Structure 1
Amino acid sequence: MQNPDARKQIEIKNLNLTFNKGKKNENKALDNVSFDIYEGETFGLVGESGSGKTTIGRSILKLYVTDSGEIDFEGQDVQTMKKKELAAFRHKAQMIFQDPQASLNGRLTVENILGEGLDQAGYSKDKKKRRQKVLDLLHMVGLNEDHASRYPHEFSGGQKQRIGIARALAVKPKFIIADEPISALDVSVQAQVVNLLAKLQKDHGLTYLFIAHDLAMVKYLSDRIGVLHWGKLVELGTADQVYNHPLHPYTKSLLSAVPEPDPVKEKARRVQSYDPSFEKDGQERHMVEVEKGHFVLGTEAEVDRYKDEQR
């Protein structure tokens, strides 16, 4: 759970990003997005494909340069960092990728894959220490010494993702962006990887931005959840608030699509359709705090209606 006395580690303020600006295929990927992530918490970011989740993660690491807005990490604006500052920042912030196969170099052994990060941290001068650190990282993610000499194609999907997690941990980061880290894995393996992430967070005091489209899994792991639609943050609150007391119709639609483990409840479940046409009416919409820590996007009239529907 999030520590109530924790300080802000990431502050995202009024972030805007448009791809292919000025062209026919112009795409507004992020639209005035603002939220904070606190030290030691897991902030879940959910939404359908194309909603802007991964774009936010990549923007935080300055893999994308935004049009406007700020991304502050421990008081420093990431967008204005130069080469040296950026290199130091990326020791503190790392990413776990969605597809473990595509993110691992198939020509390198696991030892060399993990060693690349260690070399950046200065372990390359001492081969013995470097080797021991690789073995420590493998042990940390539930793999063993024999795996160090193998190549990525020799592992299952879950094992490959464990290697990806170990690589992210190699430089001892404080903050990790987990970009749909379980969506490419078998259902039987997903819970193992999620439990590993939870254990690593507890053991090492990590902060996570957990990106996913599965609200049920995000609720299990997250302290707070932000819901994205068309590049806009439409709802933000604690996991309990968003999951058990959703306000925005888009959030309700997402939740209605979550399968129920109980066959009787699953048979009775009805998916709520979402009509986004009202979002294009030209009216100004702002994030409004409906209850402590629970925000929803809307006009004044819409927010009043959302409140009434909750009563």
Structure 2
Amino acid sequence: MTEEKILEIKNLNLSFNPGRANEVKAINNVSFDIYKGEVFGLVGESGSGKTTIGRTILGLYRPQSGQINFEGHDLLKLKRGDFKSFRKDAQMIFQDPQASLNGRMKVKDIIAEGLDVHNLTKDKDDRDQRVKDLLELVGLNSDHAERYPYEFSGGQRQRIGIARALAVRPKFIIADEPISALDVSIQAQVVNLLKDLQRKEGLTYLFIAHDLSMVKYISDRIGVMHWGKILEIGNSDDVYADPIHPYTKSLLSAIPIPDPEIELKRQPINYDPSIENDGKKRTMHEIKPGHFVLSTDEEAASYKSR
């Protein structure tokens, strides 16, 4: 992790069905930075807007307002040719490895699709060799290149998805709940693979998940989302050991403890979301060095006085 920012999101807003009775504010004035070489974890319950942010960064959704700066360039102002170059630098690992792989294509063609689009290989032999190298990099055999996705387990399919993302040698990867569709026994293998690849390839991750304990394991910093807003950002150890926002405390209290006696007596913390719609103006306040919470001035003073 360096002090150089690779991604800056400023005052991002996105609504589905804007101006209608069924309008949904999926991203509500969100701002955060990601530094080169770090893993930034984004957590929150389903429907909080995590995946929407990831897809908006990659241009799959168009926000109503805000900025998305990648290496100093505003992505919302890029021309088509420049955006194609950005797509080479930023890739996505999808949540469902079965749905995100084309079942009619061989593995070698799935992985090499990005190579073909960006003309990154000299000839067929170079293309085939690059695919074999990628398969071995993610822990699969080179002869798997001739098979189809249905011939693999869920964990193996996710490795194919990771190889596809790595094919164009990106700088930044959005991992959208990459382990939630996998068996628990396979999840640790995939997360460890992602950590190893980050070290070997010098990657930066936006790691999206709803499992705070897994995010703590892989992330350098964590952002907590709820109802389209970032409520808390901080170092993963600080957020886990000393959560400040009531919603973060509620999330952490839901993590099961592997001790039946403690688990029987433990009371989860219930969060009342109505406080987010009380009409008070809330902005990000730095409560401790590097630890920010969305709060009013009075709430921030109360948090600091703890």
Instruction: Please tell me the TM-score bracket, short chain as reference.
Output: over 0.9
Partner of 1:17: 14
Instruction: Report if the CA contact (8 A) 1:249-1:274 is conserved.
Output: yes
Partner of 1:230: 227
Work out which of the residue numbers 197, 217, 233 in structure 1 matches 2:194: 197
Bigger drift between 11-20 and 299-308 goes to 299-308
Share of identical aligned residues, percent?
67
Partner of 1:183: 180
Matched, 1:32 2:29: yes
Q: 2-side partners of 1:209 and 1:25: how far apart?
A: 30
Q: 1-side partners of 2:137 and 2:265: how far apart?
A: 43
SS of residue in 1 equivalent to 2:163:
helix
Partner of 2:107: 110
Q: 1-side partners of 2:85 and 2:33: how far apart?
A: 21
CA displacement, residues 46-89 of structure 1 (integer Å, 9 cap, x when unaligned): 01111110111011111111111100000000111111001000
What RMSD, in angstroms, separates the aligned Cα atoms of the two structures? 1.1
Bigger drift between 170-179 and 112-121 goes to 112-121
Please state how far the C-alpha of 1:121 moved relative to its aligned partner. Answer: 3.1
SS of residue in 2 equivalent to 1:165:
helix
Instruction: Report if the CA contact (8 A) 1:123-1:129 is conserved.
Output: no
Instruction: Report if the CA contact (8 A) 1:105-1:113 is conserved.
Output: yes
Gaps of 5+ in 2: none
Please state how far the C-alpha of 1:42 moved relative to its aligned partner. Answer: 0.1
CA displacement, residues 178-199 of structure 1 (integer Å, 9 cap, x when unaligned): 0000000000000000000000
Q: 1-side partners of 2:76 and 2:99: how far apart?
A: 27
Q: 2-side partners of 1:85 and 1:262: how far apart?
A: 53
Q: 2-side partners of 1:171 and 1:302: how far apart?
A: 46
Bigger drift between 112-121 and 282-291 goes to 112-121
Instruction: Report if the CA contact (8 A) 2:39-2:219 is conserved.
Output: yes
Structure 1 counterpart of 2:169, one-letter code: K
Q: 1-side partners of 2:58 and 2:100: how far apart?
A: 16
Q: 2-side partners of 1:202 and 1:264: how far apart?
A: 40
Partner of 1:126: 123
Structure 1 counterpart of 2:171, one-letter code: K
Q: 2-side partners of 1:223 and 1:151: how far apart?
A: 36
Please state how far the C-alpha of 1:267 moved relative to its aligned partner. Answer: 2.8
Please state how far the C-alpha of 1:118 moved relative to its aligned partner. Answer: 1.4
Q: 1-side partners of 2:189 and 2:266: how far apart?
A: 28
Please state how far the C-alpha of 1:270 moved relative to its aligned partner. Answer: 1.9
SS of residue in 1 equivalent to 2:98:
helix
Work out which of the residue numbers 191, 206, 211 in structure 2 matches 1:209: 206
Instruction: Report if the CA contact (8 A) 1:227-1:235 is conserved.
Output: yes
Partner of 1:294: 291
Instruction: Report if the CA contact (8 A) 1:17-1:66 is conserved.
Output: yes
Please state how far the C-alpha of 1:264 moved relative to its aligned partner. Answer: 3.2
Q: 1-side partners of 2:35 and 2:143: how far apart?
A: 38
Partner of 1:90: 87
Q: 1-side partners of 2:265 and 2:166: how far apart?
A: 44
Please state how far the C-alpha of 1:269 moved relative to its aligned partner. Answer: 2.6
TM-score (norm 2): 0.98
Q: 2-side partners of 1:55 and 1:96: how far apart?
A: 14
Matched, 1:152 2:126: no
Partner of 1:47: 44
SS of residue in 2 equivalent to 1:100:
coil
Work out which of the residue numbers 75, 80, 94 in structure 2 matches 1:78: 75
Q: 2-side partners of 1:198 and 1:297: how far apart?
A: 30
Gaps of 5+ in 1: none
SS of residue in 2 equivalent to 1:274:
coil
CA displacement, residues 201-260 of structure 1 (integer Å, 9 cap, x when unaligned): 000100000000000000000000000111111000000111111000000000000111
Q: 1-side partners of 2:170 and 2:162: how far apart?
A: 11
Q: 1-side partners of 2:155 and 2:266: how far apart?
A: 31
